[in-house]
Amino acid sequence: MKTEQNSVNTAGEVQERKSIQEHNKNLIRRAVEEMYNRGNYTHMNEMVSGDFVIHSLNPDKEIHGPDGARNFIVALRTAFPDLKFTIKDQFAEGDKVVTHFIAEGTHLGSFEGFAPTGRSFKVSSIDIDYIKNGKVSECWSNFDELSLLQQLGALS
């Protein structure tokens, strides 16, 4: 039988859970700032697990491992050298971190077969990241690629 004492978390347990959640949110903020905004991959293996996977809205576009993530970000930063991700909101629960951000940049390099247009874009995205053993192990990304392609003039 469950007692009232068993169902109530101690202040220490609550504080520990908050500390882990803050650590997880900081991990995502650091990854966004270092890798996406600065193009610095020096600490990628400290932030991303070896079995890391990014799931996108298109199941054929899964990205696997730290090398796959690095190649993906390099391709983005090549196409959009002024790429900037701005975190607008973020919350954590357990091993999950949900981040809403705005991505913006100027199309100055080839992107998914589209020649540079010189056009700027600004789109919204929400990612759900899973943290395992202090590293990002999985990302479910809801990036508005349709809006991106429309803003670049790639779609009518």
User: Could you report the per-residue pLDDT of 40-55, keeping only the tens digit for each?
Assistant: 999 999 999 999 999 9
Q: Is the pLDDT of residue 111 over 80?
A: yes
> Which of 97, 123, 124, 125 has the alpha carbon at shortest distance from 30?
97
What pLDDT is recorded for position 154? Answer: 87
What pLDDT is recorded for position 56? Answer: 86
> Which of 144, 147, 141 has the alpha carbon at shortest distance from 119?
147
Mean pLDDT of 11-35: 86
Q: Which two tokens stand for residue 86?
A: 């701005």
Which residues does 142 contact at the CB level (< 8 Å), separation at least 6? 57, 125, 126, 127
| Domains recognised in the chain with CATH numbers | 4-151 (3.10.450.50)
CB 149 within 8 A of CB 155: yes
| Number of residues that this document lists for the chain | 156
What pLDDT is recorded for position 60? Answer: 83
